[in-house]
């Protein structure tokens, strides 16, 4: 067996061995590869972000002529919803690039080619559709005053700010949050860690955290990709979503930016029904009548 094929086979076997059902138990359900029958079942991990993205998918598929239903109950995490798609318990769910790959022991990322990475890692019958512009991962941000004082636009600019800046924030403990050592290696900057402190000079936040818009924070660019990508995309069971359905889902890709996703997530977090938020946004963007 050729080395590349052997690696792909090992990644596939590792992924299929994952457990992660909504109730935390393994079901051993096998993927479905027969022609799809019945409505498309949409799953969510229960977070406001996942719920509103799932609602966007549902509205677009319904408008394309598909019958859709929500899965009974929610899953514990994006990894669990991905496993449910692979097992055939649901047909589609929001997924995130690095989170999905992290769930695959031994999974490797092909630099600059996430699409090929996911294609190689996912089992037959499960497809990662093209991602939206929106990311649901980690960002590093500073206040406008700090950005103006030190002329900061990207992480590389932190090197000219001199020592003494601190690094911390609500998402500092996230697996994707860059450490001071990683930032020093990539950009030659020295930052003093402060854990989850919300008053750090350089704040570690989720990209959809409402504080970014509320406080007018400046998100620093990361040209060397110290923070791994977390674009949201539809993970589907191939037999469930036909080409017209996939085309409908792709319509949201360029319009759903991180800032737009943050607004939608905040609306749901504040109590608006995901379906209502999704319909309002899709109509405003001309994607739904």
Q: With contact defined as beta carbons under 8 Å apart, do 128 and 22 qualify?
A: no
Q: With contact defined as beta carbons under 8 Å apart, do 44 and 236 qualify?
A: no
pLDDT of residue 68: 96
Instruction: Establish if 16 belongs to a structural domain.
Output: no
Same domain assignment for residues 83 and 164 = no
End-to-end distance of the chain based on CA atoms, in angstroms?
Answer: 53
The CATH number assigned to the domain holding 177 equals: 3.40.190.120
Instruction: Establish if 98 belongs to a structural domain.
Output: yes
Please name which of 134, 133, 131 lies closest in space to residue 249, comparing C-alpha atoms: 131
Instruction: Establish if 23 belongs to a structural domain.
Output: no
Residue ending a domain, choose from 168, 190, 219: 219
Instruction: Establish if 116 belongs to a structural domain.
Output: yes
Same domain assignment for residues 64 and 87 = yes
Q: With contact defined as beta carbons under 8 Å apart, do 109 and 101 qualify?
A: yes
Same domain assignment for residues 214 and 237 = no
pLDDT of residue 101: 85
Q: With contact defined as beta carbons under 8 Å apart, do 166 and 191 qualify?
A: yes
What is residue 204's DSSP assignment? Answer: E
Element of type H or E holding 40: strand 40-42
What is residue 274's DSSP assignment? Answer: H
Same domain assignment for residues 243 and 269 = yes
pLDDT of residue 114: 81
Q: With contact defined as beta carbons under 8 Å apart, do 125 and 32 qualify?
A: yes
Same domain assignment for residues 46 and 118 = yes
Q: What are phi and psi of 114, to 5 degrees?
A: -65, -35
The whole-angstrom separation of Cα 234 and Cα 252 is: 11
Mean pLDDT of the chain: 85
Same domain assignment for residues 129 and 40 = yes
User: Mean pLDDT, to the nearest integer, of 39-68?
Assistant: 96
What does R_g of the chain's alpha carbons equal in angstroms? 20
Same domain assignment for residues 42 and 113 = yes
User: Mean pLDDT, to the nearest integer, of 238-263?
Assistant: 94
Same domain assignment for residues 63 and 116 = yes
pLDDT of residue 14: 37
Could you read off the pLDDT of 107-148 as tens digits, one per residue?
A: 555 556 788 888 888 888 999 999 999 999 999 999 999 999
Same domain assignment for residues 206 and 234 = no
Same domain assignment for residues 99 and 239 = yes
Domains held by the chain: number: 2
Q: With contact defined as beta carbons under 8 Å apart, do 186 and 158 qualify?
A: no
Instruction: Establish if 155 belongs to a structural domain.
Output: yes
Model's pTM, two decimal places? 0.80
Please name which of 26, 3, 176 lies closest in space to residue 86, comparing C-alpha atoms: 26
Instruction: Establish if 26 belongs to a structural domain.
Output: no
The whole-angstrom separation of Cα 28 and Cα 87 is: 8
* Domain ranges, residue 106: 36-135+230-284
Question: Which segments of the chain does DSSP mark as H helices, in order?
Answer: 3-16, 48-63, 78-87, 97-102, 114-121, 144-150, 180-187, 211-214, 243-250, 258-269, 274-284
Could you read off the pLDDT of 5-48 as tens digits, one per residue?
A: 333 333 333 333 333 333 332 333 333 434 567 899 999 998 99
Residue ending a domain, choose from 163, 184, 219: 219
Same domain assignment for residues 249 and 129 = yes
Residue 4 has pLDDT above 60, yes or no: no
Residue keyed to tokens 């590093």: 140
pLDDT of residue 22: 33
Instruction: Establish if 101 belongs to a structural domain.
Output: yes
The whole-angstrom separation of Cα 215 and Cα 213 is: 6
The CATH number assigned to the domain holding 119 equals: 3.40.190.10
Measured CA distances, 24 to 12, 28, 36, 78, 80 (Å):
21, 12, 27, 13, 9
The whole-angstrom separation of Cα 268 and Cα 176 is: 25
Chain-centre distance for alpha carbon 130:
12
Same domain assignment for residues 127 and 147 = no
**Coil, strand or helix: which one is 156?**
helix
Residue ending a domain, choose from 196, 219, 242: 219
Residue 38 burial (10 A CB sphere; 0-12, 13-18, 19+): exposed
Instruction: Establish if 224 belongs to a structural domain.
Output: no
């Amino acid at each position: 067996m050729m080395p590349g094929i052997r690696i792909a086979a090992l990644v596939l076997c590792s992924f299929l061995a994952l457990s992660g059902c909504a109730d935390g138990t393994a079901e051993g359900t096998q993927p479905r590869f027969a022609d799809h029958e019945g409505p498309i079942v949409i799953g969510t991990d229960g977070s406001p972000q996942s719920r509103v993205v799932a609602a966007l998918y549902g509205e677009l598929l319904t408008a394309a002529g598909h019958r859709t239903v929500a899965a009974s109950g929610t899953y514990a995490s994006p990894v669990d919803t991905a496993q449910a798609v692979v097992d055939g318990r649901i047909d589609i769910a929001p997924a995130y690039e690095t989170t999905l790959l992290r769930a695959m022991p031994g999974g490797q990322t092909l630099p600059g080619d996430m699409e090929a990475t996911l294609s190689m890692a996912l089992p037959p019958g499960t497809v990662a559709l093209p991602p939206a512009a929106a990311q649901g991962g980690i960002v590093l941000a500073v206040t406008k005053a700090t950005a103006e004082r030190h002329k900061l636009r990207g992480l590389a600019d932190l090197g000219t700010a001199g020592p003494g800046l601190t690094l911390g924030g609500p998402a500092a403990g996230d697996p994707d949050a860059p450490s001071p050592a990683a930032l020093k290696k990539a950009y030659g900057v020295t930052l003093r860690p402060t854990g989850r402190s919300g008053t750090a000079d350089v704040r570690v936040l989720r990209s959809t955290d409402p504080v970014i818009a509320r406080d007018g924070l400046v998100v620093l660019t990361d040209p060397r990709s110290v923070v791994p990508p977390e674009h949201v995309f539809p993970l589907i069971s191939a037999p469930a979503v036909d080409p017209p359905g996939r085309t409908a889902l792709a319509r949201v890709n360029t319009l759903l930016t991180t800032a737009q996703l943050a607004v939608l997530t905040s609306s749901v977090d504040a109590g608006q029904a995901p379906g209502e938020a999704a319909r309002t946004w899709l109509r405003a963007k001309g994607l739904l009548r």
